[in-house]
Amino acid sequence: MHDVPDTVSVHGAVADTLRAAGAHGGAPGKENTFGELLHHLNDTHDLETPFGVIHLPQFPPFEVAGLSIDLSITKHVAFVWIAALFLVVLAAVAVRRSVRREVPTGFGNVLETIVVFLRDQVVIANMGVKGLRYLPYLLTTFFFILVMNLFGLLPYGASATGNVSVTAGLAGIAFIMIQVAAIRDQGLGHYLAHLTGGVHWALWPIMVPIEILGLFTKPFALCIRLFANMIAGHVVLVSLIGLILMFHSYIVAAAPVGFAVGIFLLELFVAFLQAYIFVMLTSMFMGLGMRQEETGGEGAH
């Protein structure tokens, strides 16, 4: 496995530590073994498949306003596209089955249960009936994050949500939707008036920057929470398996493997939980920007 430069990989410190542990043992191929353990963590220009390694396209970087931009395709970008394609196919299959049957069964029934739960317990609960107009966005976000999370648990897979750039993109879209929901419900004038915090105009130079900063803390929290929770499980799994190589003995393998199985099952639960939390918090932040009589909230932005 060939790692991309440090500017692309967000797990260089973990990789260096584990490789150093493998190199310290001096066993042939030990460093390569650690590299294989890290394939879920590192973002590379190679896509590993059961049929061999696919080298993803690379493009020369270009500069915009002094910033170097590299649009080369990496493994996490590929899995974002794979997740999107998978969702399109999944939606097409679900729609076809629902058209044929009045009452969905099997997989269609599972999807309907999730949709109804998010509609009633998340969207309407946090945003009121008017929030139903944003239900397609929230459902898409939930299933998109869920699929990306689950792909990270598959052999040869990678969790794109373990890349802070991916979670930052999701949080950026959430930021736009939060502001759109508030402006659409309150009107631009009332929305801007909230930036003053309702205090005397003499305090506006202090309050307005604080309120603007508060607008960005919400998506920042969404970004870091999803990234940290998804990468943490993989780091723990790599650390547990790495103990076998660190002690140079298969005698101690039983305990790390047992704990790793438990962490893997926990990761399966976390994949659903983090998708739900992201959507729940996004809908809550959107609901806070709507009128009090519609959402039962405080009308704050």
* Nearest partner of 182 among 71, 253, 288, 81, judged by Cα: 288
Q: Tokens standing for 278?
A: 């992201």
Q: Which amino acid is at 34?
A: F
If one counts the domains in the chain, the total is 1
Query: Do residues 263 and 200 touch, judged by C-beta distance below 8 A?
Result: no
In Å, how far from its chain's centre is CA 93?
Answer: 25
pLDDT digits (tens, 9 = 90+) for 86-141: 999 988 888 777 777 666 667 777 888 899 999 999 999 999 898 899 999 999 99
Tokens for 251? 């005698």
- One digit per residue, pLDDT tens: the chain, 301 residues? 444 444 334 444 444 444 444 444 444 444 455 555 555 567 888 888 888 888 888 888 888 888 888 888 888 999 999 999 999 998 888 877 777 766 666 777 788 889 999 999 999 999 989 889 999 999 999 999 999 999 988 888 888 898 899 999 999 999 999 999 999 988 888 888 888 877 778 888 888 888 889 889 999 999 999 999 988 888 888 788 778 777 777 777 788 888 888 888 888 899 999 999 999 999 999 998 876 444 444 444 4
Range of the domain at 117: 43-295
Residue 112 forms part of a structural domain? yes
**Is residue 2 a part of any domain in this protein?**
no
In a domain, 106, yes or no: yes
Query: Does any domain span residue 237?
Result: yes
Buried b (16+ CB within 10 A) or exposed e, 115-129: eeebbeebbbbbbbe
Entry pTM: 0.81
Six-digit token pair at 197?
A: 């915090």
**Residue length, the chain?**
301
Provide the 8-state DSSP code for 57. Answer: P
Residue 54 within any structural domain of the chain: yes
Residue 279 tokens read as 């959507």
What would the DSSP string read from start to end of 236-292? HHHHHHHHHHHHT-SGGGHHHHHHHHHHHHHHHHHHHHHHHHHHHHHHHHHHHTS-H
Rounded CA-CA distance 171/274 in Å is: 13
In a domain, 257, yes or no: yes
DSSP state for residue 131 in the 8-state scheme: G
Tell me if 271 is assigned to some domain.
yes
In a domain, 66, yes or no: yes
* Residue 255 CB partners (closer than 8 Å, separation 6+): none
